Each structure stands twice: as C-alpha cells, then as structure tokens.
C-alpha cells in the first residue's frame, strides 16, 4: 500500500505544478513536472508489480479474477492503464511527433487522479478521512483549473480576443 500511496502523492504533486506557476508567476516549476509524473508512474507500476508478484505470485488467472471481481482493483488497473500512454509519450521526441495530440493525451492525468483517489477510497475499510483529504485535494486542483479556464474565456469574450492567447510564462499544456 505504501507504494500506491506514494504514487498518488506524486501524482497530486504533479498536478500542483501548474497552479504553482500561476502563484509564482513564473514557468520554472514546469521543469519538474515530467520528472514528477514519471516518478508517479514508477511508484504506481511498482505498486502493481508488488501486488502481481508478491500477493498473487504472477498467477495471471487470479490477477484477472481480482480485476473482474474487486471493483477497487478494476479502478486501480484502469488508472495504471491510462498512466501508461503518458509515461510512453513523456519524451521531447514524442511531444514533437504528436504535436497537439500530445496535450490531449496528457489531459488523461485528470481522470487518472480521480481514479487513483477512487481506488484508494474503495479499499479503505473504516477510516475514510485520509481518502477524503485526497479527494478534496483533487477536487480543489481540478476546480482551480476549471475556474481559471472559465475566467480566461470570460475575459477574452469581454476584450474581444480569442481564448488561445497565452499569458507570459504560460505554456499550452494545461496540465
């Protein structure tokens, strides 16, 4: 469980990078986002491997049975599978080759964060306070992005400018 919690922590820290750039009004935190995201993926993958190897002894029939019969494992596997294309496309080469599609792929981080919290919440038996904290953080981070996006649309409409204009230090990637 510790590896999964670290994976979730790193995922949330990765999601904090963009709002941090808004607060400090500088792009320097963006330099760490890819590394943090890859660390998050690594911990989530290790979490799965510990489950698959140590808990299930690589008995794929039992692993598949767990995925089908235990909803929290289904959700966790879903999050892991969605994380995979993000990790595989985290190189500069992939960014160049995919162009605008790269940003669309990396927007998967939002449902991944929700699925990660959901996975954690469902496996907790009694004390839901910690998963509630994680859910609140995800809601706050996603809500901040939504508010900022809508404010930019309103400001652009009032000013008669297209919404594609970027603020100084801001990148096209909304993650």
Alpha-carbon distance of 57 to 66, in angstroms, equals 13
- Predicted confidence at residue 174, as pLDDT, reads 53
pLDDT category of residue 148 using cuts at 50, 70 and 90: very high
Instruction: Evaluate whether residue 171 is within a structural domain.
Output: no
CB 80 within 8 A of CB 45: yes
Residue 173 DSSP one-character state: -
14 pLDDT more than 70: yes
Domain that holds residue 71: 2-159
CB 86 within 8 A of CB 41: yes
Instruction: Evaluate whether residue 144 is within a structural domain.
Output: yes
Instruction: Evaluate whether residue 172 is within a structural domain.
Output: no
Instruction: Evaluate whether residue 166 is within a structural domain.
Output: no
> What share of the chain has pLDDT > 90, as a percent?
83
Nearest to 173 by CA among 12, 9, 29, 23: 29
Instruction: Evaluate whether residue 169 is within a structural domain.
Output: no
Domain count for the chain, please give it.
1
> What share of the chain has pLDDT > 70, as a percent?
91
> pLDDT by residue (tens digit) across 87-128?
999 999 999 999 999 999 999 999 999 999 999 999 998 899
Prediction pTM value: 0.86
> pLDDT by residue (tens digit) across 46-97?
999 999 999 999 999 999 999 999 999 999 999 999 999 999 999 999 999 9
């Amino acid at each position: 469980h510790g590896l999964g919690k670290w994976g979730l922590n790193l995922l949330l820290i990765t999601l904090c990078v963009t709002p941090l750039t808004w607060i400090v009004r500088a792009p320097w935190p963006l330099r760490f986002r890819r590394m943090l995201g890859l660390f998050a993926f690594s911990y989530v993958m290790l979490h799965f491997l510990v489950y698959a190897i140590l808990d299930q002894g690589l008995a794929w029939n039992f692993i598949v049975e767990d995925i089908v019969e235990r909803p929290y494992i289904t959700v966790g596997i879903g999050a892991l599978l969605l994380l995979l294309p993000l990790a595989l496309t985290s190189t500069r080469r992939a960014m160049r080759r995919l162009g605008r599609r790269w940003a669309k792929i990396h927007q998967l981080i939002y449902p991944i964060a929700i699925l990660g919290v959901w996975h954690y919440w469902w496996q907790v038996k009694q004390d839901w306070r910690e998963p509630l904290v994680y859910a609140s953080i995800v809601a706050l981070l996603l809500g901040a992005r939504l508010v900022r996006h809508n404010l930019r649309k309103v400001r652009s409409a009032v000013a008669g400018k297209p919404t594609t204009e970027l603020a100084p230090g801001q990148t096209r990637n909304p993650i």
